[in-house]
Amino acid sequence: MKTKLFRLNELPVAGELIANGELVAFPTETVYGLGADARNADAVRAIFTAKGRPADNPLIVHIADFEMIYEIASEVPEIAVRLAKAFWAGPLTMVLPKRPEIPSVTSGGLDTVGIRMPSHPVAQELIRLAGCPIAAPSANRSGKPSPTTAKHVMDDMEGRIAGVIDGGLCEVGVESTVICFDDAETIHILRPGIISEEDLQPFAKNVYVDKAVYSQIAPDAKVASPGMKYKHYAPKAKILPVETDSFSKFMDYVQSHADNNAWCLLFDSDPKPENLPFMRYGDDGREQAHFLFLRFRELDEHGADTVYVRCPRKDGTSLSVYNRLMRAAGFEVITV
């Protein structure tokens, strides 16, 4: 299959492909998604094949206006309506009970489904043109860093999907915050994103982050969200996060351990290291989220074998970056 790169004036063609059961990757404000008609089981199955994604890892269904939620969810609690008013369109996914019209392949066999309204105008327009809710995981091959440019998608998916819409670099850079509701007053964060625990606190009596966000879970453990089980986001290079309160301790450790083709991934405010190649990925959570996956792919292009990474904070938006980094590193951190 030849994968077509669509420009923005060709969106109607892309929308028609989706309506006809084909796969098209498209930009969102978080990362590029690999889209198919969420109601078409064969089209959705093709997403899993193209990505090499385990069948029990559910997809997020994308909608273009709030009313579409009732085509997908069988119950929409009042707290979900309030959160949608506050955070949609935007990078918040809510897991709700699924309507039977959404095939179980879309929800990884679960009776719940993740729903989100992206704010990216291209994503919204594509959903309208296709005339259906669009199921879309990140448009990378399973296990690789999520794509934040159309070129990343092509690198992973060329020949496997009908097309990619080029919308430039994604603004947020990490995937959406995924939440479910344990009860009417409890928000359970399954995957951190740039909408943080602190942002959600005013909307519920209890807000908590699943412990699988911070630490590795046993392979046979029962998890609240299937995506938590899988190693993710990893470049070819070995990622070694180094947790420390100072740049000089970080550098002392790296200088005494680094061997051939070791790189550093630093904060913008860090000094320039001596004798070691390096990249930077920002100082705060928003910047680091924007650059993390981009830098992972660039480091692979440079043939880095090992990357020593300055560890982000674990609060606010930074938790989303910390979580992606830990998963790329198999949850192994060096503390100095």
> Could you say whether residue 285 binds ligand AMP (CB under 6 A)?
no
Please give the residues from 98 up to 137 whose contact with ligand AMP meets the rule CB under 6 A.
Answer: 107, 110, 112-114, 137
Q: Which span sits near ligand AMP by CB under 6 A: 63-71, 124-132, 158-166, 223-231?
A: 223-231
Q: How far apart are CA 157 and CA 140, in angstroms?
A: 7
Map residues 133-172 to x or -, x wherever contact with ligand AMP holds by CB under 6 A.
----xx----------------------------------
| Alpha-carbon gap, residue 100 to 72, rounded angstroms | 8
Q: Which does 77 bind (CB under 5 to 8 A by kind): ligand AMP, Mg ion, none?
A: none
What does 156 bind: ligand AMP, Mg ion, none (CB cut-off 5 to 8 Å by kind)? none
Question: Phi and psi of 309, rounded to 5°?
Answer: -115, 130
Q: Which does 30 bind (CB under 5 to 8 A by kind): Mg ion, ligand AMP, none?
A: none
Q: Out of 152, 191, 280, 327, point to the residue binding ligand AMP (CB under 6 A).
A: 191
**What tokens does 290 get?**
């924007």
DSSP state, residue 35: E
Residue type, 37: D
Nearest to Mg ion of 52, 303 (CB atom): 52
Please answer whether residues 53 and 142 qualify as being in contact, where contact means their C-beta atoms are separated by less than 8 angstroms: yes
Q: Helix axis angle, 150-157 relative to 285-301, nearest 10°?
A: 40
Q: Residue type for 114, please? A: G
- Report the residue number, 188 or 310, with the smaller CB distance to ligand AMP: 188
Report, in Å, the least distance between residue 139 CB and Mg ion. 9
CB of 334 to Mg ion, least distance (A): 26
- Cα distance between residue 176 and residue 308, in whole Å: 26
The amino acid present at 184, given as its one-letter code, is A
Cα–Cα dist 37/132, whole Å:
6
Q: Decide if 92 contacts 28 (C-beta within 8 A).
A: no
Handedness of CA 92, 98, 102, 104 (dihedral sign): positive
Please report whether residue 323 would count as binding ligand AMP according to CB under 6 A.
no
Binding site for Mg ion (CB under 5 A): 137-138
Residue 107 contact partner, candidates Mg ion, ligand AMP, none, CB within 5 to 8 A by sort of partner: ligand AMP
Question: How far is the C-alpha of 73 from the C-alpha of 44, rounded, in Å?
Answer: 18
Is residue 59 close enough to count as binding ligand AMP by CB under 6 A? yes
Q: Which of 47, 126, 150, 190 binds ligand AMP (CB under 6 A)?
A: 190
CB of 112 to ligand AMP, least distance (A): 4
234 touches ligand AMP by CB under 6 A: no
Q: What is the CA radius of gyration of the chain?
A: 20
CA neighbor of 320 nearest in space, from 170, 210, 187, 213: 213
- Closer Cβ to Mg ion, 57 or 306, answer by number: 57
| 227 near ligand AMP, rule: CB under 6 A | yes
Q: How far apart are CA 216 and CA 232, in angstroms?
A: 12
B/e letters for 166-181, b = 16+ CB within 10 Å, e = fewer, are bbeebbbbbbbbbbbb
Contacts with ligand AMP, 76-95, as mask; x by CB under 6 A:
-------------------x
Segment interacting with ligand AMP (CB under 6 A) among 38-46, 66-74, 219-227, 308-316: 219-227
**Min separation Cβ 144 and ligand AMP, Å:** 11
List interacting residues with ligand AMP (CB under 6 A): 57-60, 95, 107, 110, 112-114, 137-138, 175, 178, 190-191, 225-228
